Structure 1
Amino acid sequence: MRNLDFTPLYRSAIGFDRLFNQMEKSATNANVGYPPYNIEQQDDNHYRITMAVAGFADEQLDITQQQNKLIVRGTREANGETERQYLYQGIAERDFERKFQLADYVKVVGAEMENGLLHIDLEREIPEEQKPRKIAINGRHLLESE
C-alpha cells in the first residue's frame, strides 16, 4: 500500500489539520475489509453507505451515531448449534464493527435491509448561520442607497 504525504497541503490549507490527520490515520490503520461497503454521493447533501451483510438479520445489526462518528455492529449469536467442520469456508461468519467518521452537520436519516445489503442514508444539514452570506466592501453598499 502506498503512503501518502499530506505535508505540502498543510501550507495552503488553514484549519484542515484535523482532516489531514484523520486521512493519514485511516491510510495507516486500514480496516480488515469486512464487511465490504460502498459510499455513494447522491447529491451535494445526500449520501448512502451500503454494506454487504449477508447472513445477518435486522435484529443482529446495531447502528449508532455519536457526534461525528457512525458505528455499525453485527453480532451473530450462537443458537446452540454444534461446531461445524468446514472443508472450505469462504463465507465469513463473524461479528464485526465498522466505524465511519462523519463530517460536521451530517446525520443518519434512515436505514434499510434489502437482499443482504444494509443501506444507511445520510444527510448534511448546514445551519442557516453557517451558510455563505454576502459582505459589503467598505460600506459602499450602504452609501449608494442613501
Structure 2
Amino acid sequence: MTKLTLGTYPHMLGFEQLERLLERTAKSGNEGYPPFNIEQTSDCSYRITLAVAGFAETDLAITVEDRQLVIRGRQREDGEDRIYLHRGIAARQFQRSFVLADGVEVGEAVMENGLLHIDLSRAVPETVVQTIRIRKG
C-alpha cells in the first residue's frame, strides 16, 4: 500500500511543514498521564488544563520549543526518612506535548487547586488580496 503524503496533492503547495508536525505529534509518546482538558474559551482563545495534584509550581516547567508547547513535571522526593505503609499516590515525572499552529501564542499559566491552566490565543489573520501583474515576455 502506498503512503499518501501532502506532497502528492498538486494543489497543496508549501504544506510539507504541516506533514512534519503531524508526524512529530504521532511520535510524541504522550501517555494518559496527567489527564488534561482542552477548552475553547472564545473564538480566538483556548485553555489547556492539566490535573497535576501533588505538584508544586517549582516542580513544573513550561516551554515552547519549535512551535511545540511542552509541559514537564518532576516531583522532588520527600526525603528518605518517611516510611510508607501504603503508597498509592505516584510521584512520577511526566512530559506532555501540544503542537501549536502558526499564530497561536502561549499566554499565562496559573496553578489552582491541583490544576494547571495554560491560556493560548490565536491571532486572527488579516485577509489580504494581492494582485499579480502579468509582464510581457
Residue of structure 1 in register with 2:65 after alignment: 66
Cα drift, residue 67 of structure 1: 4.4
Q: Distance in 2 between matches of 1:45 and 1:66?
A: 22
Counterpart selection for 2:128 from 122, 129, 133: 133
Residue of structure 2 in register with 1:24 after alignment: 23
The 1:64/1:24 distance shift into structure 2, 3 A limit, reads closer
Counterpart selection for 1:121 from 112, 119, 122: 119
Q: Taking structure 2 as the reference length, what is the TM-score of the superposition?
A: 0.74
Root-mean-square deviation (Å): 2.8
Which ranges of structure 1 fall in alignment gaps of 5 or more residues?
A: 139-146
Q: Secondary structure at the residue paired with 1:19?
A: helix
Q: Distance in 1 between matches of 2:5 and 2:132?
A: 33
* Structure 2 contact 30–95 (Cα < 8 Å) conserved: no
The 1:108/1:17 distance shift into structure 2, 3 A limit, reads same
Residue of structure 2 in register with 1:7 after alignment: 4
Q: Distance in 2 between matches of 1:6 and 1:117?
A: 40
Q: Distance in 2 between matches of 1:66 and 1:9?
A: 24
Cα drift, residue 50 of structure 1: 0.8
Residue of structure 2 in register with 1:96 after alignment: 94
Q: Distance in 2 between matches of 1:38 and 1:103?
A: 18
Residue of structure 2 in register with 1:33 after alignment: 32
Q: Distance in 2 between matches of 1:37 and 1:48?
A: 10
1:109 aligns with 2:104: no
* Structure 2 contact 28–97 (Cα < 8 Å) conserved: no
Cα drift, residue 115 of structure 1: 2.0
Q: Distance in 2 between matches of 1:73 and 1:124?
A: 23
* Structure 1 contact 6–20 (Cα < 8 Å) conserved: no
Q: Distance in 2 between matches of 1:122 and 1:20?
A: 23
Residue of structure 2 in register with 1:143 after alignment: none
Q: What one-letter code is carried by the residue in structure 2 that aligns with 1:132?
A: T
Structure with the bigger percentage of helix? 1
Residues 53-106 of structure 1, C-alpha deviation per residue, up to 9 Å, x if partnerless?
Answer: 1111222222122341222111211121435353x73x4321112222212222
Q: Taking structure 1 as the reference length, what is the TM-score of the superposition?
A: 0.70
